[in-house]
Amino acid sequence: MPSSAMPESGLPALQEPPATRSSTSPRSILLWTCVALLGAVAWGVVALARGERISAVWLVVAALGSYAIAYRFYSRFIARRVLQPDDRRATPAERLDDGVDFQPTDRRVLLGHHFAAIAGAGPLVGPVLAAQMGYLPGTLWIVAGVIFAGAVQDMVVLFLSMRRDGKSLGQMARDEIGRAGGAAALIAVFAIMIILLGVLALVVVNALAHSPWGTFSVAMTIPIALFMGLWMHRVRPGRVVETSLIGVALLLLAIAGGSWVQNSSLAGTFTLSPTTLVFCLIGYGFVASVLPVWMLLAPRDYLSTFMKIGTIALLAVGVVFAAPTLQADAVSKFAGSGAGPVFAGSLFPFLFITIACGALSGFHALVASGTTPKLIQKESQVRMIGYGAMLMESFVAIMALIAAATLDPGLYYAMNAPAGLLGTTAESASHAVAGLGFTITPDQLTQAARAVEEQTLIARSGGAPTLAVGMSEIFSTIFGGTAMKAFWYHFAIMFEALFILTTVDAGTRVGRFMLQDMLGNVCKPLGRVNFKPGIWLCSGLVVAAWGYFLHSGATDPLGGINQLFPLFGIANQLLAAIALTVCTTVLVKSGRLRWAWVTGAPLAWVTAITFTAGWQKIFSSDPKIGFFAQRDHYADALDAGQVLAPAKTTADMHTVVTNSTVDGVLIALFLLLVAVVIGNAAVVCVRALRSATPLPNTEAPYVESRIDAPGLPAEPLVGARP
Amino acid sequence: MNTRRWMRAVRWYLRELTGEAEYDRYCERHRHHHPLAPVPTRREYQVLRTLHQETRSHSRCC
């Protein structure tokens, strides 16, 4: 077996880690001891507080302390021992610099790009739903998951892709694992993206249904984006910063204007049912994918990036200064029983698939193996960009969890349980919440809705409205008081909807490109990126696919989020399993078996949770958990001529039967695809270990770097290129 | 003085992050490779950039 210290390239690289300054100065030791102590004390407070309410600040300190330690020590260990980046080696950005796709970019700028690409609505939604199990399990998973799995995946994939000229995850799977594994990975990526878009769009639908204020302000983002597009393209070409600032100002005006619309005669026009919103979104998705990028997609992306960074910073400030008290239990009774109303199933494995983004998200592997690796200036920067950006996303997830956990549990369940359980009136919802073991009076429920100027907060599942109420509580204690509560609520709704619509736009386009690429093998013209009928056909197919899930979710009597979110979580984590399999295979193939646990351990964990969850979703005999048990339950009732609650009509019963069949089959398909990838990879690893000579290397050849900017010394503030 | 430096840094970062500064680099590059050819105007560059965006896609995660 080759020695573990052999660099992947097999080139005369460093045997010893680069001679960086060893920072064991007394000051550094003191500083890191303090950080460790502070983090440990915060964890102690969080862990030992039983039966008393603690401040959310402890969660923030515990998380930040852990991130700092992990970044300083674990990511450095991965860089020095496992990946061994070499700053004397030219990155693809330098070697292939074309000023467009490949160009060395300042690491701080690239961190911003990468963060904007990986962080969206995911880390905001998952933790809110997972708050059903209490804040402690979620916090532990978010922090431990990101340190040992999520950030590791992002960093290693980024590094491997960078060493391979920015190859995509699918290409790397094919090159490293083989044709079967590669094809399975490609299909899995496409299918997972469709589910993801459907579920995210469902979050928007649930947030905007029957809310004229929210619908108006989100609808206004379309003319605002069109205006920005025209301004940037025709009037003041290329002036992105000023255009974005104008856009943000218009956006704030639109949010304020929503309040006026709500109380005007226009309110009826913007009060839409979920089904209407579904068709609006499907239509929008198609148009956005077909229109030129500069008109809608690009400006919306800028707007979303500005809002993202601004609001997240604001939320961090808000949590620290408002220091809200956590109202939820540390560990709720649903963690053990698995009978929670928000999503069914016990803590293991369902907590770990509900919180994907923020802890471990397979989707990041697509970003880390696409645009970002082509822009890295120096190899050692993968640590800051890959590991660091993921830690930032994890922090966003912690803040979302805090926002949900500071809500009164009664209100939380009144908002997040399925509509079928809660009914439509404040009385029925209050009664249902009491049945779950929590209290909220009908009056309190009406008051809560009135405070944010919504008609109702009952059964506003999907996470976005809950987070918005939590954010409005936090923001209004600092900025503007109760009078501003409704504004902040709709600000938060708008902020999430904006992210999601950006993801929907971009995702539909990515899906269209993938489909065109696949269909191009069958029919040549369809593969051409500027062949209009091909664009329309493929866009239509992609939109129809996610539109199907969106529609079935919005009309599902059992609650679309309740049914589809596990599917989304499993899909996302399975993508992580594929990415970690690729990473582990490369480590083994390149003679680093000794360090293969770095990606192998998270791979084992994610395989365990996804396959357990998938298994339960397929084979569980509990109709609340198992899709096929649910199907049989409802199909038998249909045969007997019964209508089971929460279904109200025979048509509802048929809907449940169809949806559970589709969802069950999909999960089975996903598991099968990932099993193929892992099985194929295992064969390759065994072959690599038995082979006397190393297997062929897929890295780009070594070229000496000419950019003389290793390490941290000041870079001139004149642009990315030195 | 210090505020001014901060403002400059913020402006630099935003221009870089949004890609507004791309044009400056493009011009520099253009002059280097084709010293005699006229440099495209900002408007012309914008058209090129849009064409390029049209044929590429980038993922936005959840």
**pLDDT of amino acid A308:** 87
Two tokens at A550? Answer: 């969106």
**pLDDT of amino acid A609:** 96
pLDDT tens readout for residues A527-584:
887 788 999 999 999 999 999 999 999 999 888 888 899 999 999 999 999 999 999 9
**pLDDT of amino acid A23:** 58
Q: What integer is the mean pLDDT of A99-111?
A: 91
Say which of B25, B42, B45 has its CB closest to residue A719. Answer: B25
**Which residue of chain B comes nearest to A237, CA vs CA?**
B43
Nearest to A460 by CA among A674, A697, A667, A210: A210
- How many domains are contained in chain A? 1
What's the CA gap between A513 and B56, in Å, rounded? 8
Full 3-state SS string of A92-128: HHHHCCCCCCCCCECHHHHHHHHHHHHCCCHHHHHHH
Query: Is residue A83 over pLDDT 90?
Result: yes
Asked if A590 and A599 touch (Cβ cutoff 8 Å), the reply is no
Query: Is residue A694 over pLDDT 90?
Result: no
Q: What integer is the mean pLDDT of A365-379?
A: 93
Query: Which residue is listed with tokens 């993921």?
Result: A390
**A573 is in which domain, residue-wise?**
35-210+272-690
Long-range contacts of A635-642 (CB under 8 A, 24+ apart): none
Write out chain B residues lying below 8 Å of A104, CB-based: none
Phi-psi region of B19 (alpha: psi -120 to 50; beta: other; left: phi over 0): left
Asked if A95 and A324 touch (Cβ cutoff 8 Å), the reply is no
Asked if A60 and A402 touch (Cβ cutoff 8 Å), the reply is yes
Confidence of residue A3 (pLDDT cuts 50, 70, 90): very low
Provide the mean pLDDT of chain B.
Answer: 87
C-beta neighbour count of A439 within 10 angstroms: 12
What's the CA gap between A72 and A69, in Å, rounded? 5
Query: Is residue A21 over pLDDT 60?
Result: no
Residue A698 included in any domain: no
Query: Is residue A13 over pLDDT 50?
Result: no
Write out chain A residues lying below 8 Å of B6, CB-based: none
Say which of A109, A364, A718 has its CB closest to residue B61. Answer: A364
**pLDDT of amino acid A715:** 41
Indicate whether this complex's ipTM tops 0.90: yes
Query: Is residue A10 over pLDDT 70?
Result: no
Q: What integer is the mean pLDDT of A82-97?
A: 95
Residue A240 included in any domain: no
Query: Is residue A19 over pLDDT 50?
Result: no
> From residue B61, how far is each of A24, A142, A219, A302 by CA, in Å?
38, 17, 22, 15
Between CA A84 and CA A87, with CA A86 as vertex, the angle to 5 degrees is 145
Amino acid at A646: P
In this complex, do A305 and B17 lie within 8 Å of one another by their Cβ atoms?
yes
**pLDDT of amino acid A410:** 96
In this complex, do A101 and B53 lie within 8 Å of one another by their Cβ atoms?
no
pLDDT tens readout for residues A40-57:
999 999 988 877 899 999
End-to-end CA distance of chain A: 42
Burial state string for A456-479 with b = 16 or more CB within 10 A and e = fewer than 16: bbbbbbbbbbbbbbbbbbbbbbbe
Two tokens at A583? Answer: 């990473």
Confidence of residue A110 (pLDDT cuts 50, 70, 90): very high
pLDDT tens readout for residues A136-177:
999 999 999 999 999 999 999 999 999 999 999 999 999 999
Tally C-beta pairs within 8 A across A and B: 120
In this complex, do A292 and B8 lie within 8 Å of one another by their Cβ atoms?
no
A703 touches chain B (CB under 8 A): no
Q: What integer is the mean pLDDT of A306-323?
A: 90
3-state secondary structure of A181: helix
pLDDT tens readout for residues A241-259:
999 999 999 999 999 999 9
Query: Is residue A315 over pLDDT 60?
Result: yes
Torsion sign, CA atoms A691, A693, A694, A697: negative
B31 touches chain A (CB under 8 A): no
Widest pairwise Cα distance in chain A: 79
Domain boundaries, chain B: 2-55
Q: What integer is the mean pLDDT of A116-125?
A: 90
Q: What integer is the mean pLDDT of A379-396?
A: 96
> From residue A304, how far is each of A111, A263, A290, A307, A505 by CA, in Å?
16, 28, 20, 5, 12
% of chain B residues with pLDDT over 90: 32
Query: Is residue A18 over pLDDT 60?
Result: no
Domain CATH code at residue A562? 1.20.1740.10
Q: How many angstroms from the chain centroid is the CA of residue A81?
A: 29
Two tokens at B19? Answer: 């890609």
pLDDT tens readout for residues A391-442:
999 999 999 999 999 999 999 999 999 888 899 899 999 999 999 999 999 9
pLDDT tens readout for residues A611-668:
999 999 999 999 999 999 999 999 999 999 999 988 889 999 999 999 999 999 999 9
**pLDDT of amino acid A22:** 56
Query: Is residue A20 over pLDDT 60?
Result: no
Torsion sign, CA atoms B49, B51, B56, B61: positive
**pLDDT of amino acid B1:** 63
What's the CA gap between A523 and A527, in Å, rounded? 7
Residue A412's Cβ-side half-sphere holds a number of Cα atoms within 13 Å equal to 31
**pLDDT of amino acid A205:** 95
C-beta neighbour count of A454 within 10 angstroms: 23
**Which residue of chain A comes nearest to B53, CA vs CA?**
A293
**pLDDT of amino acid A52:** 84
Say which of B23, B54, B57 has its CB closest to residue A238. Answer: B23
A84 touches chain B (CB under 8 A): no
pLDDT tens readout for residues A270-310:
999 999 999 999 999 999 988 988 999 889 989 998 888 88
**Which residue of chain B comes nearest to A530, CA vs CA?**
B55
In this complex, do A720 and B60 lie within 8 Å of one another by their Cβ atoms?
no
Nearest to A203 by CA among A496, A555, A417, A548: A496
**Which residue of chain B comes nearest to A513, CA vs CA?**
B57
Confidence of residue A709 (pLDDT cuts 50, 70, 90): low
% of chain A residues with pLDDT over 90: 75
**Which residue of chain B comes nearest to A504, CA vs CA?**
B60
A338 touches chain B (CB under 8 A): no
**pLDDT of amino acid A12:** 40
Write out chain B residues lying below 8 Å of A116, CB-based: 17
**pLDDT of amino acid A681:** 96
Provide the chain A residues 283-312 that lie in CB contact (below 8 A) with chain B: 292-294, 298, 301-302, 305
Q: Tell me whether the omega of the peptide bond preceding residue A85 falls within 30 degrees of 0, making it cis.
A: no
